[in-house]
Amino acid sequence: MADRAAKTELYEAFAATGKALSSGKRLELLDLLAQGERTVDALAKAAGLNLTTASAHLQTLKQTGLVATRRDGVRIHYRLAGEDVAQLLDLLRRVAERHQAAVAPARTAYLGPEAPDEQDAVRREDLLARIAAGHAVALDVRPVEEYAAGHIPGALSIPVEELAERIGELPEDAEVVVYCRGAYCALAYDAVRLLTARGRRAIRLDDGMLEWRLAELPVDAGAGAAAA
Amino acid sequence: MADRAAKTELYEAFAATGKALSSGKRLELLDLLAQGERTVDALAKAAGLNLTTASAHLQTLKQTGLVATRRDGVRIHYRLAGEDVAQLLDLLRRVAERHQAAVAPARTAYLGPEAPDEQDAVRREDLLARIAAGHAVALDVRPVEEYAAGHIPGALSIPVEELAERIGELPEDAEVVVYCRGAYCALAYDAVRLLTARGRRAIRLDDGMLEWRLAELPVDAGAGAAAA
DNA sequence: CCCTTTCTCGACAATTCTATGGAATAAGGG
DNA sequence: CCCTTATTCCATAGAATTGTCGAGAAAGGG
């Protein structure tokens, strides 16, 4: 029977972390940061926020300890404070999708319908084996900086905006398994639609880099081999 | 590059789940519900809220799908919508404790300092072995309804308010391992202080029933054997 | 059918959050 | 040292939340 005031205060402290997760914009920022560190300016542009607003949201995140900063000359890089924060983001979205009716329609409105005759997405566990057997090649369609910060071993890197013109770099005979940031990232959906329209055998990875990393599957870093 | 409006809407939907976790009172309610279902009235009393306020918070939780209800005659029982919600609560507190400076002091202010010469708490994995070997006996100090809804196999049940008068029911020779709701529940701390003051060998389980269940360790249900 | 119990709903004031423009600060180049 | 760039701080308007009160709805007993 310790006193109620102290209990309230403790739970209010937990709630501060919940509050950090209570704005859609902050979740977008966390999602971006889960791919690697970024400057305030880059984050603001990617999330469609004006600079001061983005800075304010990042301050909130920093005060609850979910993100950390690093100064490099004149610019400040933000990053997630730890892998547990990525886990929390992942679990939050999973729970929301499972229990909240509004998520499913919003999801298809954003990601678009799957191509009608598309097979089910490739599961994480199967991908490395399919690559090793030569049946498939992994394609990372995120921006190059994110690829450099960590990618699936052996994956090619072609950002989705360049995909139309660089489609020739993909092998013609293998199936292309496309992935991007995570389960709710639109890039891979767009890429698969583009490739399929061009007559390639393309399929999405079930989710993306975030879930791959959290599953503790192997990750390569560095600009690496890029596209063939 | 699917449109920004749709992306914002999707993330706003995720944020609704975050919002549900952004109030200390709602987190207290979830913590109670993680021990089993309860009526609105019981929840309000346990969380120190007036009835309408509790009802309003429960409505918020219900709208985001984190809790579900069951009507039984004139009263309504609330329960967690799934084990993943308990997981989310657990991870949220873990992340908050790890990254947020305000948590540690609030925690000791509420739970009180450990007895000075107390050994480290018993870890989950060790408990069953120590019970089987006869070195220890587990003691559940939560209210009887919570014990009935699920407890560690073989544990005795003595709610902490009755512990002083029922201390004789505990075996004298074995070490008593006390547990309650979870890592942030004060009951086990209080019980250990009481037992130690009476000259018993008592020690806390590292955390409580919530973490035990999430670790998928065996759980017994029913009023069961209660105290010897 | 009325009355009691249990809970939800609508409305209010007090507080807090979000977005934004303009000023202030920090680091580095000429 | 001044100037430019990158970011944070401050003030403010509008929107959303919290807690509380009194009224309303649903189930069951006499």
SS (HEC) of chain A: CCCHHHHHHHHHHHHHHHHHCCCHHHHHHHHHHCCCCEEHHHHHHHHCCCHHHHHHHHHHHHHCCCEEEEEECCEEEEEECCHHHHHHHHHHHHHHHHHCCCHHHHHHHHHCCCCCCCCCCECHHHHHHHHHCCCEEEEECCCHHHHHHCECCCCEECCHHHHHHHHHHCCCCCEEEEECCCCCCCHHHHHHHHHHHCCCCEEEECCCHHHHHHCCCCCECCCCCCCC
| pLDDT exceeds cutoff 80 at A118 | no
Which residues of B have a catalytic role annotated?
A: 180
User: Chain A closest CA to B97's CA: distance in Å?
Assistant: 8
**Which residues in chain B are contacts of A1 at CB distance < 8 A?**
160, 186, 190
| pLDDT exceeds cutoff 90 at B141 | yes
pLDDT computed for residue B228 by the predictor: 36
pLDDT computed for residue B174 by the predictor: 87
| pLDDT exceeds cutoff 80 at B22 | yes
pLDDT band at A113 (very low <50, low <70, confident <90, very high): confident
pLDDT band at A21 (very low <50, low <70, confident <90, very high): very high
Mutate to test the interface with A, among B62, B94, B95 (most CBs of A within 10 A): B95
Residue–nucleotide distance: B62 CA to D27 C1' (Å): 22
pLDDT computed for residue B30 by the predictor: 97
Cβ <8 Å between B99 and A64: yes
**How confident is the model over A49-58, as a mean pLDDT?**
93
User: Chain B closest CA to A210's CA: distance in Å?
Assistant: 16
Task: Return mean pLDDT, chain B.
Answer: 91
pLDDT band at A228 (very low <50, low <70, confident <90, very high): very low
A58 nearest nucleotide via C1' and CA: D8
* Count of helix runs (H) and strand runs (E) in chain B: 11, 7
Protein residue at shortest CA distance from C1' of D18: B53
Output the pTM of the full model. 0.92
**Residue in A24, A81, A95 closest to B12 by CB:** A24
Give the tens place of pLDDT for each residue, B6-16. Answer: 999 999 999 99
Question: Is the C-beta of residue A58 closer than 7 Å to nucleic acid chain D?
Answer: yes
| pLDDT exceeds cutoff 50 at A170 | yes
**How confident is the model over A60-75, as a mean pLDDT?**
93
| pLDDT exceeds cutoff 60 at B172 | yes
**How confident is the model over A112-120, as a mean pLDDT?**
62
User: Chain B closest CA to A133's CA: distance in Å?
Assistant: 33
Residue–nucleotide distance: B21 CA to D4 C1' (Å): 43
Q: Name, in order, each residue with C-beta under 8 angstroms of A52's C-beta and a sequence gap of 6 or more.
A: none
pLDDT computed for residue B173 by the predictor: 85
Of A11-15, A118-122, B144-148, B211-215, the one with minimum mean pLDDT is A118-122
Cβ <8 Å between A106 and B15: no
| pLDDT exceeds cutoff 50 at A11 | yes
pLDDT computed for residue B1 by the predictor: 46
Of A161-170, B138-147, B219-228, the one with minimum mean pLDDT is B219-228
Cβ <8 Å between A11 and B4: no
Protein residue at shortest CA distance from C1' of C18: A53
**Which residue's entry shows tokens 């300890």?**
A65
pLDDT band at A65 (very low <50, low <70, confident <90, very high): very high
| pLDDT exceeds cutoff 80 at B193 | yes
| pLDDT exceeds cutoff 80 at A225 | no
